[in-house]
């Protein structure tokens, strides 16, 4: 027999954790409500006939948000064989509210009281036997995180499903029961008996969706309306509130007999931490410090080292295994540089000949002897000046060293026995992928176009993207830690005070936060926002924040044009946030977005140490989806790009082009055709225009495209970039690509969530327009300050800013009263 078991419970009660434990799946878990927004199915371990469904968290069966609708429809329409109701033991009273409703569905229910590990630590005792007796269904205490009791809970649920015994109903107050009995009689008596009660209660509450579904006749409605009115008069309250109250009274009674708190009145550790972290004045500064640390660690320190290794080692010439020998080699190479420089400046041809490592006849002993005698011939106070070229920027500088420096260099060279200038001499040298593949292609006598496709197209493009994976993994790891320890939920709370001012809910922070990994789940996470207007606004603005895919090109601009300053990446996040805020304020004052503010309802989960597994899983999930994209979409588009850039017209004939002839390529033609659009932004060259287009396929492509378009020539990509962009135009390029329409996949997500072509078009047009305006202002105003004044451009920029300021500050009538009440007590 096939058994369907649904996991239902309040948000953040641990359903997905339990689901993962029961099915061995790897669903995303986060310590804040609203992580799961769609139902997920899996087979129970060792029971291939038992299907477990993980549902989004719900507070009640009266849906207010989209994911609550998902959960309710599943329970009512698909009717699982049993419900495993996950109850957060640290929040028993609130969680039982849903339980009372689930018990009315006529489906067997088993209750799993979760988080028992935390409950025990706080000195609370929950008497599960008594709870089971009072509710009339099985109660199991578990810790989904620690894996304790999870199988027992599943087995109880299977048993309950097999027995098919629904939970005995708990009675409401006399006159309410009376009215419900009438309703059952009048409206639902032809339904299966166990389903009647839930529908009757819902009709009593005048639930529109249920009334609509049952399609009751006008007569019946009038008839029952009389009963409901009578009860409402008696209680002097509306029907929905009467039922809510009744439930809480019932729960209150249960709690009294099953819940014992030894440390009543004391502040828990979580409360103590919250006193500081969510403090009115300290909350925001703490948040900023934490965020800066996260990006400093991931982008600057650890991240940069790892990225250098990927870019210069794995996807470059190669690297020393475990880094052994690197320092020694660098010292040696530096000494050789100084010796050659000094020899050049002294015109010592013999020494230069002896140090010719390229020569077949290089003789280490002879080189050592020459170096020794040269060192003996200089005086400590001698000075020699020679030219050196910086490998990264190709900048040529004069360097002056003293005779003492020459002697030190000679000592190092002699100590290293005159080894040639070759890293492989100093440790186990692992060649980089391009080197290995290049040798292999050469050995196989591959045709030129194939080598070019593989080396310059695929490996260069995909390598440029994958090079940023280590950096991103570090970032995701830190974010996952903050999420699962509970701090992220506090941020939403702290930010709500601010977000509220510009028309977003603090809950918008969660989509934005998830959006730092990838915009697509970020856009989907907006489903937790009850208010339609807030939700649309969040969908439109979430992708302003730099997602994982935008990190590489931000890092590239920072490195190539701004000398790797950590402020560039940090500023990208602040600009993303500012764009969201400014858009929020401006849009809120337009008709489609005006309206009453929605109430903020979010519980703050208790802090806890995340498990390593959860943190790693979340890091891996985000990282892997990035790598997968690099392997598919990006691979495909680099091939297309390679073709477009390596083929074109020379003297009217269509042929394959050499690296230097890229200006004749098909891509150049396309880029040239549209580059004028971007001229006011300061980067009207075809390469940058093309990179922005390929960025729409996937933002990672911007780096790959730049690598193909600027790399491969005399200069490194970065050096080429530094020569094309100034600080101002580079920043304008960065901001435009940060804020303009996201990748096609994310546009698809916007379409799905907006559920309207018109809104989708509006969102994308708004994003592109906004990006264009901001980038234009940056370029024109920045240009005016750096000696590139363009009078017309400056006037346009000032007018645009004036318009935005007007939109920001124009007065408008704001409803400042909540007209809808908070539904959760």
Ligand X SMILES: Nc1nc2c(ncn2[C@@H]2O[C@H](COP(=O)(O)OP(=O)(O)OP(=O)(O)O)[C@@H](O)[C@H]2O)c(=O)[nH]1
- Taking CB under 6 A as the criterion, the residue among 13, 95, 311, 543 binding ligand X is 13
Helices (H), 108-217: 116-121, 128-135, 150-163, 174-187, 193-204, 208-214
User: If phi over 0 gives left and psi between -120 and 50 gives alpha, with beta otherwise, what is residue 595?
Assistant: left
Residue 114 interacts, among ligand X, Mg ion, none and using kind-specific CB cut-offs from 5 to 8 Å, with ligand X
145: which DSSP letter? T
- Taking CB under 5 A as the criterion, the residue among 8, 10, 14, 16 binding Mg ion is 16
Nearer to ligand X, 613 or 673 (CB): 613
* 153 near ligand X, rule: CB under 6 A: no
Cα-based angle 86, 91, 97 (whole degrees, multiple of 5): 65
Q: How does 546-569 read in b/e, with b if 16+ C-beta sit within 10 Å?
A: bbbbbbbbbbbbbbbbbeeebebb
Cβ partners under 8 Å of residue 132, min gap 6: 111, 138, 139
Sheet containing strand 82-88, edge to edge, reads 40-44, 47-54, 3-9, 82-88, 109-114, 139-141
Site for ligand X in 697-756 (CB under 6 A): none
Cβ partners under 8 Å of residue 179, min gap 6: 204, 224, 227, 228, 230, 231
Q: Which of 524, 542, 532 is nearest to 594 (CA)?
A: 532
Contact pattern from residue 461 through residue 500 relative to ligand X, giving x for each residue in contact according to CB under 6 A and a dash for the rest: -----------------------x----------------
Selected range binding ligand X among 32-40, 375-383, 621-629, 671-679, rule: CB under 6 A: 32-40
How many residues bind to ligand X according to rule CB under 6 A?
Answer: 27
Cβ partners under 8 Å of residue 144, min gap 6: 14, 17, 18, 21, 86, 112, 114, 115, 150
Nearer to ligand X, 114 or 701 (CB): 114
**C-alpha span between 636 and 716 (Å, rounded):** 24
- Taking CB under 6 A as the criterion, the residue among 3, 5, 8, 17 binding ligand X is 17
**C-alpha span between 162 and 707 (Å, rounded):** 62
- Output the DSSP codes for 290-336: HHHHHHIIIIIIHHHHHHHIIIIIITTSEEEGGGTTHHHHHHHHHHH
* 36 near Mg ion, rule: CB under 5 A: yes
The CB-of-508 to Mg ion minimum distance in angstroms stands at 20
The CB-of-734 to Mg ion minimum distance in angstroms stands at 36
Selected range binding Mg ion among 28-36, 133-141, 266-274, 318-326, rule: CB under 5 A: 28-36
Nearer to ligand X, 62 or 471 (CB): 62
- Tell me the CA distances in angstroms from 474 to 79, 120, 364, 622, one per residue in order: 43, 34, 44, 11
- Taking CB under 6 A as the criterion, the residue among 118, 523, 587, 743 binding ligand X is 118
Cβ partners under 8 Å of residue 224, min gap 6: 179, 182, 183, 186, 187, 203
Contact pattern from residue 40 through residue 79 relative to ligand X, giving x for each residue in contact according to CB under 6 A and a dash for the rest: ----------------xx----------------------
Nearer to Mg ion, 19 or 562 (CB): 19
Residue 497 CB coordination number (10 Å): 14
Cα-based angle 679, 685, 690 (whole degrees, multiple of 5): 110
Residue 391 CA from chain centroid, whole number: 35
Q: Note whether 32 and 12 are within 8 A (CB).
A: yes
How many residues bind to Mg ion according to rule CB under 5 A?
Answer: 4
**What is the largest distance, in Å, between two alpha-carbon atoms of the chain?**
116
Residue 505 interacts, among ligand X, Mg ion, none and using kind-specific CB cut-offs from 5 to 8 Å, with none
Q: What share of the chain is helix, strand, coil (3-state, %, to 5)?
A: 65, 10, 25
Site for ligand X in 562-581 (CB under 6 A): none
Contact pattern from residue 600 through residue 629 relative to ligand X, giving x for each residue in contact according to CB under 6 A and a dash for the rest: --------x-----x---------------
Selected range binding ligand X among 11-19, 167-175, 196-204, 411-419, rule: CB under 6 A: 11-19
725: its two tokens: 């962009």
- Taking CB under 6 A as the criterion, the residue among 3, 6, 8, 15 binding ligand X is 15
Selected range binding ligand X among 15-23, 265-273, 282-290, 642-650, rule: CB under 6 A: 15-23
808: its two tokens: 């920001």
Selected range binding ligand X among 111-119, 171-179, 558-566, 763-771, rule: CB under 6 A: 111-119
Site for Mg ion in 64-123 (CB under 5 A): none
**C-alpha atoms less than 13 angstroms from C-alpha of 20 in its C-beta half-sphere:** 18
Nearer to Mg ion, 11 or 303 (CB): 11
Nearer to Mg ion, 354 or 513 (CB): 513
Using a 10 angstrom Cβ sphere, with 0-12 exposed, 13-18 middle and 19 or more buried, the burial of residue 47 is middle
Selected range binding ligand X among 34-42, 194-202, 348-356, 488-496, rule: CB under 6 A: 34-42
Selected range binding Mg ion among 14-22, 150-158, 390-398, 495-503, rule: CB under 5 A: 14-22
**C-alpha span between 825 and 817 (Å, rounded):** 19
- Taking CB under 6 A as the criterion, the residue among 115, 139, 161, 342 binding ligand X is 115
Question: Can you give the three-state secondary structure of 64-122, one letter per residue?
Answer: CCHHHHHHHHHHHHHCCCEEEEEEEHHHHHHHHHHHHHHHHHCCCEEEEEECHHHHHHC
Residue 685 interacts, among Mg ion, ligand X, none and using kind-specific CB cut-offs from 5 to 8 Å, with none
- Taking CB under 6 A as the criterion, the residue among 143, 505, 687, 767 binding ligand X is 143
- Tell me the CA distances in angstroms from 185 to 180, 182, 204, 776, one per residue in order: 9, 5, 13, 69
* 114 near ligand X, rule: CB under 6 A: yes
Residue 118 interacts, among ligand X, Mg ion, none and using kind-specific CB cut-offs from 5 to 8 Å, with ligand X
**C-alpha span between 511 and 528 (Å, rounded):** 9
Residue 14 interacts, among ligand X, Mg ion, none and using kind-specific CB cut-offs from 5 to 8 Å, with ligand X
Residue 270 interacts, among ligand X, Mg ion, none and using kind-specific CB cut-offs from 5 to 8 Å, with none
- Taking CB under 6 A as the criterion, the residue among 3, 8, 23, 34 binding ligand X is 34
User: If phi over 0 gives left and psi between -120 and 50 gives alpha, with beta otherwise, what is residue 255?
Assistant: alpha
Residue 435 CB coordination number (10 Å): 14
Selected range binding ligand X among 137-145, 322-330, 442-450, 675-683, rule: CB under 6 A: 137-145
* 31 near ligand X, rule: CB under 6 A: yes
Selected range binding ligand X among 28-36, 153-161, 493-501, 580-588, rule: CB under 6 A: 28-36
Selected range binding Mg ion among 8-16, 253-261, 506-514, 566-574, rule: CB under 5 A: 8-16
- Taking CB under 6 A as the criterion, the residue among 3, 98, 145, 224 binding ligand X is 145
Q: Number of H helices and number of E strands within the chain?
A: 38, 14
Residue 746 interacts, among ligand X, Mg ion, none and using kind-specific CB cut-offs from 5 to 8 Å, with none
Selected range binding Mg ion among 34-42, 210-218, 417-425, 544-552, rule: CB under 5 A: 34-42
- Taking CB under 6 A as the criterion, the residue among 5, 8, 14, 495 binding ligand X is 14
Query: Nearest residue by C-beta to ligand X?
Result: 57
Q: Which of 552, 599, 478 is nearest to 701 (CA)?
A: 552
Q: Which of 733, 637, 731 is nearest to 688 (CA)?
A: 733
* 141 near ligand X, rule: CB under 6 A: no
Nearer to ligand X, 259 or 386 (CB): 259
The CB-of-528 to ligand X minimum distance in angstroms stands at 8
The CB-of-21 to Mg ion minimum distance in angstroms stands at 13
The CB-of-602 to ligand X minimum distance in angstroms stands at 11
Q: Which residues bind Mg ion (CB under 5 A)?
A: 15-16, 35-36
Q: Which residues bind ligand X (CB under 6 A)?
A: 9, 11-17, 29-31, 33-36, 56-57, 114-115, 117-118, 143-145, 484, 608, 614
């Amino acid at each position: 027999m096939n058994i369907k078991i649904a996991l239902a419970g309040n948000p953040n009660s641990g359903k997905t954790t339990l689901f993962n434990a029961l099915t061995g799946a790897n669903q995303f878990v986060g310590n804040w409500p609203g992580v799961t927004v769609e139902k997920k199915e899996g087979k129970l371990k060792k029971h291939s006939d038992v299907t477990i469904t993980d549902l989004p968290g719900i507070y009640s069966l009266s849906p207010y948000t989209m994911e609550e609708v998902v959960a309710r429809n599943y329970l009512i329409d698909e009717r699982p064989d049993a419900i495993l109701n996950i109850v957060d033991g640290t929040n028993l009273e609130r969680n039982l509210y849903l339980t009372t409703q689930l018990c009315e569905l006529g489906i067997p229910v088993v209750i799993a009281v979760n988080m028992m590990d935390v409950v025990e630590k706080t000195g609370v005792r929950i008497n599960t036997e008594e709870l089971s007796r009072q509710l009339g269904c099985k109660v199991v205490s578990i810790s989904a995180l620690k894996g304790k009791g999870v199988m027992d809970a599943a087995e109880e649920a299977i048993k309950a499903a097999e027995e098919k015994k629904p939970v005995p109903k708990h009675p409401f107050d006399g006159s309410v029961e009376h009215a419900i009995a009438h309703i059952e009689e009048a409206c639902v008596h032809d339904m299966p008996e166990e389903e009647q009660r839930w529908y009757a209660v819902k009709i009593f509450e005048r639930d529109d969706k249920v009334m609509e579904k049952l399609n009751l006749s006008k007569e019946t409605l009038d008839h029952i309306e009389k009963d409901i009115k009578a009860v409402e008069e008696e209680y002097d309250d509306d029907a929905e509130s009467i039922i809510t109250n009744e439930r809480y009274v019932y729960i209150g009674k249960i709690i009294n007999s099953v819940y014992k708190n030894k440390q009543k009145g004391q502040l828990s550790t979580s409360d103590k931490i919250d006193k500081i972290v969510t403090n009115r004045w300290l909350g925001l500064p703490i948040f900023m410090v934490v965020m800066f640390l996260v990006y400093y660690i991931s982008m600057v320190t650890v991240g940069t080292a790892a990225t250098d290794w990927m870019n210069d080692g794995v996807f470059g010439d190669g690297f020393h295994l475990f880094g052994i020998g690197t320092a020694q080699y660098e010292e040696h190479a530096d000494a050789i540089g100084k010796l050659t420089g000094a020899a050049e400046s002294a015109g010592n041809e013999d020494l230069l000949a002896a140090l010719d490592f390229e020569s077949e006849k290089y003789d280490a002993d002879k080189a050592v002897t020459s170096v020794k005698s040269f060192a003996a011939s200089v005086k400590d106070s001698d000075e020699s000046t020679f030219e050196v070229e910086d490998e990264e920027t190709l900048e040529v500088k004069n360097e002056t060293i003293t005779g003492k420096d020459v002697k030190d260099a000679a000592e190092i060279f002699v100590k290293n026995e005159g080894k040639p200038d070759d890293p492989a001499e100093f440790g186990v040298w692992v060649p980089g992928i391009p080197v290995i593949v290049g040798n292999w292609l050469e050995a196989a006598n591959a045709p030129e176009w194939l080598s070019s496709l593989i080396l310059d197209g695929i490996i260069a493009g995909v390598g440029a993207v994958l090079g940023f994976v280590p950096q991103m993994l570090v970032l995701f790891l830190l974010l996952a830690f903050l999420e699962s320890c509970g701090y992220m939920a506090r941020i939403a709370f702290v930010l709500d005070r601010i977000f509220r001012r510009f028309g977003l809910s603090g809950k918008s922070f969660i989509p934005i936060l998830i959006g730092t990994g990838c915009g697509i789940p970020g856009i989907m996470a907006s489903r937790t926002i009850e208010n339609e207007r807030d939700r649309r606004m969040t969908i439109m603005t979430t992708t302003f924040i730099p997602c994982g895919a935008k990190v590489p090109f931000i890092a590239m601009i920072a490195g190539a044009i701004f000398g790797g300053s950590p402020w560039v990446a940090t500023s990208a996040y602040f600009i993303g946030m500012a764009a969201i805020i400014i858009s929020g304020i401006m849009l809120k004052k337009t008709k489609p977005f005006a309206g009453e503010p929605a109430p903020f309802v979010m519980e703050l989960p208790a802090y806890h140490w995340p498990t390593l597994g959860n943190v790693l899983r979340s890091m891996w999930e985000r990282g892997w989806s990035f790598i997968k994209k690099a392997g598919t979409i990006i691979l495909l588009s680099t091939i297309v790009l390679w073709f477009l850039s390596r083929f074109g017209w020379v003297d009217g004939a269509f042929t394959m082009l050499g690296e230097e002839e890229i200006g004749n390529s098909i891509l150049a033609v396309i880029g040239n055709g549209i580059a004028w659009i971007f001229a006011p932004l300061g980067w009207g060259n075809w390469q940058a225009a093309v990179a922005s287009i390929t960025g729409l396929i996937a933002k990672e492509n911007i780096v790959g495209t730049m690598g193909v378009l600027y790399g491969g020539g005399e200069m490194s990509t970065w050096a080429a970039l530094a020569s094309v962009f100034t600080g101002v135009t580079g920043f304008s390029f960065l901001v435009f690509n940060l804020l303009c329409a996201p990748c096609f996949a994310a546009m698809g997500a916007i379409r799905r969530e907006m559920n309207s072509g018109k809104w989708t078009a509006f969102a994308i047009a708004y994003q592109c327009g906004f990006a264009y305006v901001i980038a234009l202002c940056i370029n024109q105003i920045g240009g005016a300050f750096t000696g590139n004044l363009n009078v017309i451009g400056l006037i346009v920029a000032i007018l645009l800013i004036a318009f935005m300021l007007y939109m920001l500050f124009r007065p408008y009538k704001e409803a400042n009263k909540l007209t809808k009440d908070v539904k959760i007590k």
